Structure 1
Amino acid sequence: MGTIGQFLISALIRLISLAISVVVLVGLLRRRWKVGKQFFYVKPRPTPPPILTDPQWGTHAYVDLKEQGIKLHYVEAGDRKNPLIVFVHGFPEFWFSWRHQLKHFSQKYWVVAVDMRGYGESDKPSSKSQYNTDLLIQDLRYFVLALGKKCTLVAHDWGAVLAWQLVTLHPELFTAHISLNGPHPGAYQKYIRKSFTQLRMSWYICFFQTPWIPELMLRSHDLKSLEKMFRGTKKNVLAFPDDVIEAFKYYYSQKGAFTPPINYYRNIVIGDSRKLPVSKIRVPTLVIWGTDDLALSKPLAKLSSQECESGELKFVEGASHWVQQDSPDIVNTLIQQYLDSNPSSKIE
């Protein structure tokens, strides 16, 4: 895309972002007037809730990525002699979104769930430029190298967006790749140009370009947004009981906790496809997709799987965007069946 075209798209995105932000801000102020000053109050949470320190999930550890100048936190379980599975979360999550998989797969595998840069207990650089996609991809590359063996890479949402690019650029590091409700970036950019439905569903990407208002919205009413996002329109309390919601609220109640994750979006150059992978993915890939995703259209799953030389697609009917959390038994079975059928995943 030419410079003029990119400028026009950027200008349009800024206008849309401004319009959405004005509507959101007016709504927030109206609710503040009705509810009172406690509407913008976030309860202090100085210590993690018991569910986060429960040893059933695994052991907490850190790795210092000197090449990146950053320290990442992760939770690991299982025998290090077993084949390795690395789990990478999305927005607005952290390692805890893989709790069901850590517990299940630790019986046969060495499992590791990482907090990406800016999330959970990993380092949180203050500059927006420190959340550039290229840096984020390299974080994951050096993290896998630090673990010392090839792995199966399992990723969701933003983690999946990065994983698609990582397995394209560095296939030698991976025995298999499993993507959950996170589109291949090239497939996403092609699809959103012709799908008004997906464009409408992606409104939040434009909104997140605005400074401070997204953080204000997400933190309002003691982080009520997290409860709404995870439980969804179906009010799925079974998959997301109060103690699980409180685990997410603990991290996002900390001062400035939302800004680094939102900076992932603020570094997106919408409409610029120059840096996107163009070659077919050689790493064997499974796409798992919850069909009731409110942010990503179902056709993106098929389009993403078509970017692979060897790709399989499995839908989880009725599952939300948070498919590994609200349908863990189905997801775990699909992952295990795929690993069992893929001999390379057993290479240590």
Structure 2
Amino acid sequence: MTDPAAAVMTRHAVDSDGLRLAVFETSRVGPTIVFVHGFPDTHAVWDPVIADLRDRFHCVAYDVRGAGESEVPSSRGQYALSCLVTDLVAVLDVVSPDRPVHVVGHDWGSVQAWDAVVREKSDPRLAGRISSYTTISGPCLDHVRAFAHAARRGNGNERREGLQQLVHSWYIFAFQVPWLPELALRNGYRQLLAKGCRSLAHFESTLPEDAAHGLNLYRANLRRRSRVPGGPSTDLPVLLVVALRDNYVLPQLTRDLHRFAANLTRAEIDAGHWVPRSHPAQLAGIVAEFVSRHDGDHTR
């Protein structure tokens, strides 16, 4: 399906440690917003959001490694969060080398962007590069571990909420099984995704291959140990967009996010998992207000 935003975006090929990434951007007017998509999408999931923002902001979206028009890594280890953060840095170096950007992530795009955000104070490549962060349906993995630990040690209600999230995360465990998920995704992806999205029209023709490659995101990262006891934190402005009807990331998973993000703003949308497609205008409005409020908070 063609989206009006796609027609006004310029395509670049950006090198990230020898891997070519497909990067798409609008005209360089206004603050820069970098959009990072999740599993099993491509950059195109952001098209309707960018269509609402392109006249006021410099919008950038890219196909993450293994998806869309970007190259596919040769090994599972190359899907590690550290590699994905390197990709983000490579994109920033090309689209906004001298000014900090605002990052917006959805699903696994949010997971990997979180890793960049919590590294911002310790990684010289990221120091002063991010003005704000908007997270949608993709928590920091270290924060998830802290949530799970608290649920195990908590009262009956907390344990019940932890169990509910575990049940809704069944696919994560299924994705660890060799070969079977690839077969299921190639042949039954429509039934799987229908749980979280009423329309499959926005998915690209590369969906079966992208989904199969994207399984490595789960396999390469979910067994990683937390670097910081209790979970890492950030002082950057963070906007948490809660999709109230998300069947994959339940709202309670992010209830205690203020423990890790001191400068936190929370917004709710009555939507399922694929907010960028189901509620693009509402999401664009929320992001525009937040970005405008925090533009210039950090300088290089």
Question: Equivalents in 1 of 2:266, 2:11: separation in Å?
Answer: 33
Letter aligned with residue 158 of structure 1:
W
Deviation, 1:304, is 2.6
Aligned: 1:266 with 2:233: no
Query: 1:225 is matched with which residue?
Result: 191
Q: What is the CA distance between 1:346 and its match in structure 2?
A: 10
Cα distance between partner residues in 1 of 2:135 and 2:262: 15
Within 5 Å, give how 1:1-348 maps onto structure 2. 51=2, 56-66=6-16, 68-77=17-26, 79-147=27-95, 148=97, 149-170=99-120, 171-193=127-149, 194=151, 195-220=162-187, 223-225=189-191, 228-231=194-197, 236=198, 240=199, 245-253=200-208, 256-270=209-223, 272-274=225-227, 278-316=231-269, 318-344=270-296
Matched with 1:6 is none
3-state secondary structure, aligned to 1:172: coil
2:190 counterpart letter in structure 1:
K
1:226–1:248: 8 Å Cα contact kept in structure 2? no
Q: Classify 1:90/1:269 alpha carbon distance in 2 versus 1 (closer, same or farther; 3 Å).
A: closer
The farther-off stretch of 180-189 and 275-284 is 275-284
1:36 corresponds to: none
CA distance in 2 between partners of 1:58 and 1:230 (Å): 29
**Paired residue secondary structure (2:206):** helix
Question: CA distance change for structure 1 residues 118 and 150 in 2, over 3 Å: closer, same or farther?
Answer: same
Call closer, same or farther: CA 1:162–1:76 in 2, change over 3 Å: same
Alpha-carbon spacing, 1:270–1:138, altered in 2? closer, same or farther (3 Å):
same
CA gap of 1:133–1:252, structure 2 versus 1, over 3 A, is same
Amino acid of the structure 1 residue aligned with 2:220: N
How far, CA to CA, are the matches of 1:143 and 1:63 in structure 2? 10
Q: Within 2, Cα distance between the matches of 1:152 and 1:251?
A: 28
Deviation of residue 55 (structure 1)? 6.0
The sequence identity of aligned pairs, in percent, is 26
Q: Sort the Cα spacing of 1:271 and 1:252 in 2 relative to 1 into closer, same or farther, 3 A.
A: closer
Paired residues of 1:181 and 1:289 also in contact (CA < 8 A) = yes
Where do 5+ consecutive residues of structure 1 fail to align? Answer: 1-48
What TM-score do the two structures reach when normalised by structure 2?
A: 0.85
* Partner Cα separation in structure 2 for residue 258 and residue 199 of structure 1: 22
Tell whether the 8 Å contact from 2:143 to 2:232 is kept in structure 1 after alignment: no
The answer to whether the 8 Å contact 1:286/1:305 transfers is: no
Q: Is the 8 A contact 1:63 1:71 kept in 2?
A: yes
Alpha carbons of structure 1 residues 322 and 345: separation in structure 2 relative to 1, 3 Å: farther
Distance 1:57 1:331, change over 3 A: farther
RMSD across aligned positions (CA) = 2.4
Q: How many residues align?
A: 281
Matched position secondary structure for 1:111? strand
SS in 2 for 1:338: helix
Letter in 2 for 1:203: W
Q: Which range moved further: 56-65 or 294-303? A: 56-65
**Higher helix fraction (1 or 2):** 1
Q: Structure 1's 191 and 277: CA in aligned 2 closer, same or farther, altered over 3 A?
A: closer
8 Å contact 1:175–1:284 — kept in the other structure?
A: yes
TM-score of the aligned structures, taking structure 1 as reference length = 0.74
- How far 1:280 sits from its partner (Å)? 2.4
User: Which of the pair has more CA radius of gyration?
Assistant: 1
Q: CA deviation at 1:211?
A: 1.6
The residue identity in structure 2 corresponding to 1:125 is P
- Is contact 1:192-1:198 (8 Å) kept? no
Offset at residue 111 of structure 1 (A): 0.3
CA distance in 1, matches of 2:229, 2:207: 31
Report the AA paired with residue 145 of structure 1.
D
Q: Which residue of 2 aligns with 1:25?
A: none
Cα pair distance change 1:98/1:276, threshold 3 Å: farther
Please name the residue that 2:157 is paired with: none
Deviation at 1:275, TM superposition (A): 6.6
What is the alpha-carbon distance in structure 1 between the residues aligned to residue 249 and residue 68 of structure 2?
Answer: 24
Instruction: Give the aligned partner of residue 27 of structure 1.
Output: none
How far apart are the structure 2 equivalents of 1:57 and 1:290?
29
Q: Give the direction of change, closer, same or farther, for the CA distance of 1:176–1:189 in structure 2 (3 Å limit).
A: same
Instruction: Determine helix, strand or coil for the equivalent of 2:291.
Output: helix
